[in-house]
Amino acid sequence: MKKVVLRAAIVLGIVYCLFVGAIAWAMAQPPDTFGQFMARMPILTFLVAPFETLWTHIRAGALHPGDAAPDFNLKRLDHTGEVRLSSLRGQPVVLVFGSYT
């Protein structure tokens, strides 16, 4: 009986590690890929996986206060084109991530 319980615990541990590894892999992908991956996960995922800890470590950047922001493009709200961050150098810029409504 002890061998069966031990084997079951080992198998569950391996499955859990693979599950958390898959989530960690998805977190390192672009937002669209991550969103599609997580859309298929059950809500229970957020309770059994160390979600916030993984996110903090995987998505941590190398920027420090005072460093120049990396250059990137964003679509205009009216979809008439894109704005490049470097084109706004010397002007005040406010970036809002997430919902502001």
Q: What is the pLDDT of residues 41-53, one digit of tens each?
A: 888 888 888 888 8
Residues of the chain with pLDDT under 50: none
b/e code 34-70 from CB counts within 10 Å (16+ = b): beeeeeeeeeeeeeebeeeebeeeeeeeeeeeeeeee
pLDDT at 65: 84
CA 1 to chain centre: 41
The domain segmentation of the chain, as residue ranges, is 2-64
Q: What is the pTM of this model?
A: 0.60
